[in-house]
Amino acid sequence: QTSLSIWGWGSLGVVLFLVTFGPFAIFYFAFYILCFVGGGFVVTLLFGKSNSEKYLEQCEHSFLPCTSVGIPKCIEEMKREGRPIKIDRRLTGANIIDEPLQQVIQFSLRDYVQYWYYTLSDDESFLLEIRQALQYALVQFSARSKETDWQPYFTTRLVDDFGTHLRVFRKAQQRIAEKGDQMKDQAEELVDTFFEVEVEMEREVCRDLVCTSPKDEEGFLRDLCEVLLYILLPPGDFQNKIMRYFVREILSRGILLPLINQLSDPDYINQYVIWMIRDSNCNYEAFMNIIKLSDNIGELEAVKDKASEELQYLRSLDTAGDDINTIKNQINSLLYVIKVCDSRIQRLQSGKEIDTVKLAANFGKLCTVPLDHILVDNVALQFFMDYMQQAGGQAHLFFWMTVEGYRVTAQQQLEVLQSRQKDGKHQTNQTKGLLRAAAFGVYEQYLSEKASPRVNIDDNLVAKLAETLNHEDPTPEIFDDIQRKVYELMLRDERFYPSFKQNVLYVRMLAELDMLKDPSFRGSDDGEGESFNGSPTGSINLSLDDLSNVPSDETVQLHAYISDTGKCFD
């Protein structure tokens, strides 16, 4: 019904519309609608065109220049002359350092960037951005370096690491020597034994992969460079992965890896040592100590051959007058060097170095070398230092040696200050400031709460020293009380000097000083052993007290001999 009603009403409406307006009313109605829509479109178009023309006129009279577009614009930009680029060459603030660094930057860009970049473009802006990034990194590195306290690192940590490396190497050599001829490849066995000893001594640290595998070494250097770039580069440049990887590869493979390979080359090390000592004469005592302490037969034979060649040359000279005395002295010196080398080679070949303890057992009582003599003798001090490292008392020994150096330096500075004051020159504050800085450095390194390792001494003495440093001018004797306590601790503590005299290193020290007595001169059972008066000879040294105990009616015979001759100028 609903549908029928809708159709009915609709039909009625259509019939009425046709009766009223005629049959063509539908076409007229459609035409009227079309005209209305078309008129509205035309009006809108004309209005928009007029507004657009007005806006364009305003833009033509505005401050923005009329720019070209597309390829002509690119050609115009490329034809423009390059503006001169100004670069700030300051990096660290010191011209003597900045200029070599600028040369390094220039050579790095030339060797790693320019040779391929100039085949792509002549625009210098890319090179400028790289240079500015490198300079920013160097400035950051310089600023952070100035904030770091390098004195503890170079005087303690670096020295300890180097000493630990040498001790590990020597211990590995000892293990190799104990195995004898059981090894097929001694070089590989030495490397494996070295890292085994390193794990035993440093427990949680082993660098075998980094040192033996080129792939792992490169990976470690990349990670190291990644950390450095994170610290030194601006955040925007570090987030740029292409640039970060690019600079990382240059640093790791182009700079650090070749530098490490060069520093690890034995020939380069030898040439560098020769270059450093070329202009300085080797000290006689140091040279002879090196020969006496050497355990390499090849080195000793090389020194012996060189001395023999020089000896033959001197003997071939035809001289007269005063020159003949000089040549005789040189010949005698070379003969003595050859004799020492032969003696050392014979001892090494006979295995006396390994059987030192057994040899000492046959000698009975050993010669007693006082601690004060050990501390001033280079050879003895080296053995005592190795023992103190093993016993964990290296901080006490290093403190004693550092204070000795401070005292000498302070005395020299004060003498120079007094002489300048007599001449009318005033630098009192500067000299005292340097001495105060040196004294504070010693205190912070060995006695403060932050010191590692720290010298364990009476807290009252340390507090008194700190009070003196804060309120008084430093003097050469400012550390004397604590140094005296440290000396007594090393002398009387069973961990240090008393135990050192019972250690194998003490016996080896006596052997190096030629103080292992012959069994025919063995002391009595109730004696305390022979004492050392400062002369490293093999004779028994009698003191004045021993001579005073001899009855007056008995004849006393004293025997003496010349153990060594030489000529020196002081």
- The whole-number average pLDDT for the span 185-201 is 81
Same domain, 368 and 483: yes
pLDDT grade, residue 80 (50/70/90)? low
pLDDT grade, residue 569 (50/70/90)? low
Is the pLDDT reported for residue 548 higher than 50?
no
- Considering only residues 539 and 470, tell me which one the structure prediction assigns the higher pLDDT: 470
Q: How far apart are CA 135 and CA 89, in angstroms?
A: 8
Q: Which domain holds residue 127?
A: 89-147
Listed residue (131, 89, 88, 137) closest to 235, CA to CA = 137
Same domain, 343 and 450: no
- The whole-number average pLDDT for the span 227-231 is 89
Is the pLDDT reported for residue 392 higher than 50?
yes
Same domain, 315 and 337: yes
Last residue of a domain, one of 498, 513, 528: 513
SS (H, E, C) 279-337: CCCCCHHHHHHHHHHCCCHHHHHHHHHHHHHHHHHHHHCCCCCCHHHHHHHHHHHHHHH
Same domain, 432 and 307: no
Is 257 part of a structural domain of the chain?
no
Is 491 part of a structural domain of the chain?
yes
Same domain, 496 and 403: yes
- The whole-number average pLDDT for the span 316-336 is 78
- The whole-number average pLDDT for the span 219-228 is 91
Q: How many CB atoms lie within 10 A of CB 539?
A: 16
**Helical (H) or strand (E) element with 162:** helix 158-179
Is the pLDDT reported for residue 180 higher than 80?
no
Would you state the pLDDT for residue 539?
A: 36
Is the pLDDT reported for residue 238 higher than 70?
yes
Would you state the pLDDT for residue 39?
A: 87
Q: How far is CA 417 from the centre of its chain?
A: 34
Same domain, 502 and 368: yes
Same domain, 312 and 449: no
Q: How far apart are CA 516 and CA 538, in angstroms?
A: 7
Is 245 part of a structural domain of the chain?
no
The whole-chain average pLDDT of the chain stands at 78
474 touches 466 (CB < 8 A)? no
- The whole-number average pLDDT for the span 423-440 is 73
- Considering only residues 533 and 177, tell me which one the structure prediction assigns the higher pLDDT: 177
Is 28 part of a structural domain of the chain?
no
Q: Which of 239-253, 259-273, 439-453 has the lowest mean pLDDT?
A: 439-453
- b/e per residue, 367-388, with b = 16+ CB within 10 A? bebebebbbebebbbbbbbbbb
Same domain, 386 and 493: yes
Residue 128's alpha-carbon distances to 102, 141, 457, in angstroms, are: 13, 20, 58
Q: Which of 46-55, 177-186, 297-306, 485-494 has the lowest mean pLDDT?
A: 177-186
Same domain, 381 and 327: no
pLDDT grade, residue 365 (50/70/90)? low
% of the chain exceeding 90 in pLDDT: 5
Is 76 part of a structural domain of the chain?
no
pLDDT grade, residue 47 (50/70/90)? confident
Last residue of a domain, one of 296, 319, 352: 352
Would you state the pLDDT for residue 171?
A: 84
Is 311 part of a structural domain of the chain?
yes
Last residue of a domain, one of 147, 179, 197: 147
Residues 6+ away with beta carbon under 8 Å from 503: 387
Please compute, for residue 492, the number of CA atoms within 13 A of its CA located in the half-sphere on the CB side: 6
Listed residue (133, 77, 78) closest to 105, CA to CA = 133
**Helical (H) or strand (E) element with 509:** helix 504-512
Same domain, 467 and 386: yes
Would you state the pLDDT for residue 534?
A: 44
172 touches 193 (CB < 8 A)? yes
Tell me the per-residue pLDDT of 518-543, one tens digit each, with 9 for 90 and over.
443 333 333 344 444 444 433 333 33
For the chain, the domain total comes to 3
- The whole-number average pLDDT for the span 33-46 is 87
User: What are the φ/ψ torsions at residue 393 (nearest 5 degrees)?
Assistant: -110, 25
Tell me the per-residue pLDDT of 268-321, one tens digit each, with 9 for 90 and over.
988 988 888 777 766 777 788 788 878 788 889 999 999 999 988 888 876 655
State the CATH number of the domain containing residue 440. Answer: 1.10.167.10
pLDDT grade, residue 66 (50/70/90)? low
Would you state the pLDDT for residue 408?
A: 85
Same domain, 289 and 398: no
Token representation of residue 48: 């928009």
Is 160 part of a structural domain of the chain?
no
Token look-up 């600023």 returns 143
Same domain, 369 and 495: yes
Listed residue (375, 403, 373, 366) closest to 530, CA to CA = 366
Is 196 part of a structural domain of the chain?
no
Q: Which of 11-15, 168-172, 193-197, 310-314 has the lowest mean pLDDT?
A: 11-15
Listed residue (486, 455, 480, 449) closest to 465, CA to CA = 480
